[in-house]
Structure 1
Amino acid sequence: MRSRLLPLLIVLMAGVLLALGFPLAASQAAAQQQRVVVDRIDDTTRFAALAQFVTARDEATGAVDPADDERLHTLKTELARYQQLYGIKAGVFYRTGAAMAAAPATWEIPPRSELYDSFYSALLGRRAHNPRQVWPWQSRTLAISSPIVRDGDVVAVVVTDSPTGALRSRILHGWLLLAAGELAAMAIAVLLAVRLTGWVMLPVATLDRVTHDIATGRMKSRVEAAGGPPELRRLVRSFNEMADNVEAVLDQQRAFVADASHQLRNPLSALLLRIELLGLELPDGHTEAESVKEEGHRLAQVLDDLLGLAVAENSGSHLAATDITELVRVRTLAWQAVADRAGTAVDFAEPSRGGAVTGWADAVALSSALDAVLDNAIKFTPAGETVSVRVAADGDSVAITVADSGPGLNDDELARIGDRFWRSARHQNVHGSGLGLSIAHALLSQGGGAVAYGRREPHGLEVTLTVPRASAPARDGRTFSRPDSPKV
């Protein structure tokens, strides 16, 4: 969810910044050009004032009245100096397009050009206040014209043709500063989006982690309300209430199973004793009495396993650093006698690097879980075959693998193995209650361990018990998962 929410926020913020950036860039370019236009209008107004009375010219012959000769000379001098200082072409042109004075002297207004359009607009008595916008990628000039009016008529036009290199450089520089500001704002927006997403997703991530803990048997885990939107904080409170109710129901169920198993053992033991006494009165080889006796013992085994499962699920773990290699070696030797009676063997392979392999586990619980797995492996291994046991350190965990040489399980059966009271239809004649692997799982999950199942080639079942190598918090008390990230 975070991977979808964060890009969405970033895209929205980028869209907002771009939507603001483009108009701002255009406005900045227009402001820069407007400064140049105002400056050129001032220049053309000054030249228009100089040329205001230099109009005594015979437009047919081009002759100038000697009285205006000094004024015309001053105008030409000012235009030439202006062009020399600023590199801007400037001139005063009659209505016919003939030059009164121009710098450079040979400059003419080309027809069908932006300069001609500005000149023609001035002939109509309009100043060029809003010429077409110049952009940094355009290498054109900026034409500004002002009319010279006498007695209400436009008698001449002052025209300037400015190069736009400096203007375009200023616009580009402003755009670079604007782009830098946009990038900085985008970086801040991304940072805020990350913080905002983290704040929103904080309870969700904690809920996910605690839900996984509860799903794997750590029923004491809870979520401490800290940060996030009000709706998610309410969800956290509801989740904790639900977890409390589920834990209470499970505790009642386990207590009932334990009490029922314990209460049934005494009358069942008395019943088995009476069956034994009754069997003494019957003739030898009485099959019905033997069947009743066998079923009674099986029922007693089921009750013992139920009691063991209830105790395993309800007991706390006493975790400590444990020599896993030595523990497995001791339990393997203990089961060797049982394997000998079944005509099988238990082979323990020392770790490849030798020496102790240390894990963080409850030694009693791990021994009981390993006993349940070894018992199951020996029962299903045919006479003359071997049960293989090995220990290996795998990253942050220690794995104990028990592989038998039995018939094994198919994919559907592997998906169900470990379910309570479940047994393969092909193995119903094997003695057992179907609770051994469930007990192993319950014992390991108390200390953060796990049980995995797989095939052994060419045939058989491989069970892997995993415990962590590093210290982990005890699971016998309520634990709260609380994120450390600060609020936004």
Structure 2
Amino acid sequence: MTRRIAWTLVVLTSVLLVLAVVPLAVSLTARERVAHRDSQRAATRVIAAAAEEHLSDGRPATSMRKELDAAARRGDCAAVYDSSRLVASTPCKAAQGEESEELVADVLRGREPEPPESEGRLLAAEPAGDVREPAGAVVLARSSAPLDARIAAIWGWSAVIGAAALAASVLLSVRLARWVSRPLSTLDASARRLGEGVLDERADVGAGPPEVRRLAATFNTMAARTEALVHGHRAVIADVSHQLRTPLAALRLRLDVLAAGADTATAVDLAAAQEEISRLSRLVEGLLAVARAEQATPRPAAVRIDAVVAERVTAWAPVAEERGIRLVADSGGASPTVAMGAGHLEQILDNLIANAVDAVPSGGSITIDRRAAEATARVRVRDDGPGMPGRAKTVAFRRFGNPEAGGTGLGLAIVHRLVTVNGGTARLEDTAGGGLTVVLELPLWPERGPERADGPRSLPDPKKR
């Protein structure tokens, strides 16, 4: 952004300088040329007036020679012609020749000639006497070097002024661009850190234009409310978790004590009550897991998919073997690294494998494969179980979305929340030949940032699920 603002201002200033300096320099150059020509013509008329006294009135040529000598001292070359020949001239012969004779002929005919520029000199011709019937003509040749020097000075100073103005514009543009963009860059970095889970992140409200300061203040207000909301929800989850688990555990213990001394009929009823309490406990755990997933604000870390998949397949292999299910990880293809919160990929795979193990009959298989796409990594968990109806797939990621689910109906909801909070997507597809495939699109790690999180951290034992 700094470069764009600076370049825009520099280009705009350059255009304005060109539109202002160049026409001014052209105008000054034209004025210098006119002044030089007028001065030359005035000097020629002075000599022509003195020559008229000699050519028309027959007076001595003293005055004419005096003016010719003065012109020679100034560095000019002059020549006086009558109607047929050269009468007098300065020692310099630049005012003589074919071009001078053509000018004299035009003057003697009563026409105003177009003085040419010859070999760095400017020629001027004036009649001596009446313009319509002149007694002669005077030609004066003056060097154009002083004029060229003044014109070069005009353009040189114009270039210096333009360059100085452009340099000042560059400095001011860079400072202005930084003044505007630096607070925005800081605000962008603060927003990114807040999105990565640094809830106490705040933006600087003391720099930049007033609009940016108000934006930073608004961001800080939003960040403070978000922090308070997340901390409040976390506190509620912790309180609910404690308040629900404790009475359920106490109730289960009482039923165990009652079942120990009960008769057969009562023991059966107590066993059914214990099963319902266990189901209620699993439901509470699932709801708390969904709530934690919804309130998660992960800090992305580099997670190697192949390491996590291999570890989870090893952990779930005994459960799958016990039920006669083949659980494998496809080792082909690339091994991408994704950006996810620590432990999230493990929790996602645990829920997907648990659902697949419950759904696939004995003799079936579950396959986990992965591959890298353009900006994402694709992970697929395929099974050859009974699959899921189309209508059920549309609501499967909601809480209790599938009324036919064998478990709590919260596993896919947890998966969806964890995937989306990490910037990915999840969808359900039919497996070729029958079954269900869960497709996860996860963001790739940009090879920068915090330390890697290649493996699981304090994961639950799948046998206890």
**Corresponding position: 1:238 with 2:218:** yes
Partner residue of 2:382 out of 404, 415, 420:
404
In the alignment, is the contact (CA less than 8 A) between 2:82 and 2:136 conserved in 1?
Answer: yes
Partner residue of 1:68 out of 29, 37, 60:
60
Counterpart residue number, 1:103 = 96
**Corresponding position: 1:431 with 2:407:** yes
Q: CA deviation at 1:246?
A: 1.6
Tell me, in whole angstroms, the C-alpha distance in 1 between the residues paired with 2:360 and 2:35. Answer: 96
Partner residue of 1:302 out of 243, 266, 283:
283
**Structure 2 counterpart of 1:17, one-letter code:** L
Partner residue of 1:332 out of 296, 313, 324:
313
Summarize deviations over 1:43-82 as a string: whole Å, max 9, x none.
426524642632435xxxxxxx4x5367668878999x89
Summarize deviations over 1:31-53 as a string: whole Å, max 9, x none.
54256336525642652464263
Partner residue of 1:264 out of 244, 264, 271:
244
Q: CA deviation at 1:400?
A: 7.8
Return closer, same or farther for 1:428/1:109 CA change in 2, 3 Å cut-off: farther
Return closer, same or farther for 1:99/1:321 CA change in 2, 3 Å cut-off: closer
Tell me, in whole angstroms, the C-alpha distance in 2 between the residues paired with 1:21 and 1:217. Answer: 55
Within 5 A, what are the aligned runs for 1:38-57?
Answer: 39-41=39-41, 43-44=43-44, 47-48=47-48, 50-51=50-51, 53-56=53-56
Tell me, in whole angstroms, the C-alpha distance in 1 between the residues paired with 2:355 and 2:166. Answer: 62
Counterpart residue number, 1:480 = none
Tell me, in whole angstroms, the C-alpha distance in 2 between the residues paired with 1:412 and 1:20. Answer: 72
Return closer, same or farther for 1:283/1:297 CA change in 2, 3 Å cut-off: closer
- 2:207 is paired with a residue of what secondary structure? coil
Q: CA deviation at 1:248?
A: 0.4
Summarize deviations over 1:292-343 as a string: whole Å, max 9, x none.
9887655432321233355567789899998764543232122123434665
Summarize deviations over 1:206-248 as a string: whole Å, max 9, x none.
3334334444655343323463224423431331132012210
**Corresponding position: 1:472 with 2:450:** yes
- 1:241 is paired with a residue of what secondary structure? helix
**Corresponding position: 1:368 with 2:344:** no
In the alignment, is the contact (CA less than 8 A) between 1:258 and 1:310 conserved in 2?
Answer: no
Q: CA deviation at 1:404?
A: 1.9
**Structure 2 counterpart of 1:434, one-letter code:** L
**Corresponding position: 1:463 with 2:440:** yes
Higher mean Cα deviation, 368-377 or 182-191?
182-191
- 1:401 is paired with a residue of what secondary structure? strand
Counterpart residue number, 1:60 = none
Return closer, same or farther for 1:11/1:324 CA change in 2, 3 Å cut-off: closer
Return closer, same or farther for 1:435/1:238 CA change in 2, 3 Å cut-off: farther
Tell me, in whole angstroms, the C-alpha distance in 2 between the residues paired with 1:393 and 1:281. Answer: 59
Partner residue of 2:207 out of 220, 224, 227:
227
In the alignment, is the contact (CA less than 8 A) between 2:344 and 2:418 conserved in 1?
Answer: no
In the alignment, is the contact (CA less than 8 A) between 1:225 and 1:233 conserved in 2?
Answer: yes
- Please list every run of 5 or more consecutive structure 1 residues that lacks an aligned counterpart in the other structure: 58-64, 120-130, 475-488
Within 5 A, what are the aligned runs for 1:443-454?
Answer: 451-453=424-426
**Structure 2 counterpart of 1:13, one-letter code:** T
In the alignment, is the contact (CA less than 8 A) between 1:199 and 1:228 conserved in 2?
Answer: yes
Counterpart residue number, 1:484 = none
Tell me, in whole angstroms, the C-alpha distance in 1 between the residues paired with 2:21 and 2:263. Answer: 99
Return closer, same or farther for 1:206/1:256 CA change in 2, 3 Å cut-off: same
In the alignment, is the contact (CA less than 8 A) between 2:427 and 2:440 conserved in 1?
Answer: yes
Counterpart residue number, 2:457 = none
Q: CA deviation at 1:200?
A: 0.3
Q: CA deviation at 1:267?
A: 4.1
**Structure 2 counterpart of 1:23, one-letter code:** P
**Corresponding position: 1:389 with 2:365:** no
Summarize deviations over 1:333-390 as a string: whole Å, max 9, x none.
2212343466543212347689xx9889876555334323433454566765543334
**Structure 2 counterpart of 1:221, one-letter code:** E
In the alignment, is the contact (CA less than 8 A) between 1:389 and 1:400 conserved in 2?
Answer: no
- Residue correspondences, number: 425
Return closer, same or farther for 1:188/1:421 CA change in 2, 3 Å cut-off: farther
Identity %: 25
Counterpart residue number, 1:478 = none
Structural RMSD (CA): 5.9
Q: CA deviation at 1:252?
A: 0.9
Return closer, same or farther for 1:172/1:266 CA change in 2, 3 Å cut-off: same
Q: CA deviation at 1:7?
A: 5.9
- 1:189 is paired with a residue of what secondary structure? helix
In the alignment, is the contact (CA less than 8 A) between 1:409 and 1:460 conserved in 2?
Answer: no
Return closer, same or farther for 1:210/1:412 CA change in 2, 3 Å cut-off: farther
**Structure 2 counterpart of 1:240, one-letter code:** N
Counterpart residue number, 2:13 = 13
Partner residue of 1:248 out of 228, 240, 261:
228
Using the size of structure 2 for normalisation, the TM-score is 0.64
In the alignment, is the contact (CA less than 8 A) between 1:444 and 1:467 conserved in 2?
Answer: no
In the alignment, is the contact (CA less than 8 A) between 1:143 and 1:161 conserved in 2?
Answer: yes
Return closer, same or farther for 1:256/1:50 CA change in 2, 3 Å cut-off: same
Tell me, in whole angstroms, the C-alpha distance in 2 between the residues paired with 1:263 and 1:230. Answer: 49
Return closer, same or farther for 1:197/1:184 CA change in 2, 3 Å cut-off: same
Tell me, in whole angstroms, the C-alpha distance in 2 between the residues paired with 1:311 and 1:156. Answer: 112
Summarize deviations over 1:442-470 as a string: whole Å, max 9, x none.
5996xxx6544356675622225567465
Counterpart residue number, 1:24 = 24
**Structure 2 counterpart of 1:387, one-letter code:** I
Return closer, same or farther for 1:204/1:413 CA change in 2, 3 Å cut-off: farther
Using the size of structure 1 for normalisation, the TM-score is 0.61
Tell me, in whole angstroms, the C-alpha distance in 1 between the residues paired with 2:337 and 2:380. Answer: 18
Tell me, in whole angstroms, the C-alpha distance in 2 between the residues paired with 1:26 and 1:279. Answer: 117
Q: CA deviation at 1:266?
A: 3.9
**Structure 1 counterpart of 2:60, one-letter code:** D
Return closer, same or farther for 1:405/1:332 CA change in 2, 3 Å cut-off: same
**Structure 2 counterpart of 1:103, one-letter code:** Q
In the alignment, is the contact (CA less than 8 A) between 2:308 and 2:346 conserved in 1?
Answer: yes
Q: CA deviation at 1:180?
A: 7.2
**Structure 2 counterpart of 1:371, one-letter code:** D
In the alignment, is the contact (CA less than 8 A) between 1:400 and 1:466 conserved in 2?
Answer: no
Return closer, same or farther for 1:72/1:207 CA change in 2, 3 Å cut-off: closer
